[in-house]
């Protein structure tokens, strides 16, 4: 029973480069969430989708961040241009329905030099 799959697991890149994080939710789940985790700010919700439609993106830090969900089995979070302060662990989660348990992937550890 496959869980939420994220790629890559680790990404190291230089400031100014474009970064794309990928997520495959659990099959049949209709809600998808992107989180960022840092020591200073803990787990922050960036954006969530319901039935592939962005519902709340108020947590997206700024215009350099964008997220898409072209179909029910794939989502991307893109940072362009990247900055050192974007370094964090980014998690994707999915749930069967609104207000249901969220299932997390193992995250992408992003380091911007």
Partner 1 sequence: GENVEQHPSTLSVQEGDSAVIKCTYSDSASNYFPWYKQELGKGPQLIIDIRSNVGEKKDQRIAVTLNKTAKHFSLHITETQPEDSAVYFCAADNYGQNFVFGPGTRLSVLP
d(CA 96, CA 43): 21
Q: What are phi and psi of 85, to 5 degrees?
A: -70, -5
Nearest residue (CB) to partner 1, 64 versus 89: 89
DSSP 73: T
Please select the residue that binds partner 1; options are 91, 94, 110, 112, rule is CB under 8 A.
91
| x-or-dash string of contact with partner 1, 37-56, rule CB under 8 A | -----xx-x--x-x-----x
Cβ neighbours for 39, distance < 8 A, ≥ 6 positions apart? none
Does residue 70 interact with partner 1 by CB under 8 A? no
Nearest residue (CB) to partner 1, 31 versus 82: 31
Q: Quick one: residue 15, left, alpha or beta (phi over 0 = left, psi -120 to 50 = alpha)?
A: beta
| Residues at the contact surface with partner 1, assessed by CB under 8 A | 4, 31, 33, 42-43, 45, 48, 50, 56, 91, 93, 95, 97-107
């Amino acid at each position: 029973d496959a869980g939420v799959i994220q790629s890559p697991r680790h990404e190291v890149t230089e400031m100014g480069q474009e970064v794309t994080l990928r997520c495959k939710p659990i099959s049949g789940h209709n809600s998808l969430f992107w989180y960022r985790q840092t020591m200073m700010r803990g787990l922050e919700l960036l954006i969530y989708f319901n039935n592939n439609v962005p519902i709340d993106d108020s947590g997206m830090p700024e215009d350099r961040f964008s997220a898409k969900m072209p179909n029910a089995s794939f989502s991307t979070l893109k940072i362009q241009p990247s900055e050192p302060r974007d370094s964090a662990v980014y998690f994707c989660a999915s749930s069967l329905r609104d207000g249901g348990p969220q299932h997390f992937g193992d995250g992408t550890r992003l380091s911007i030099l």
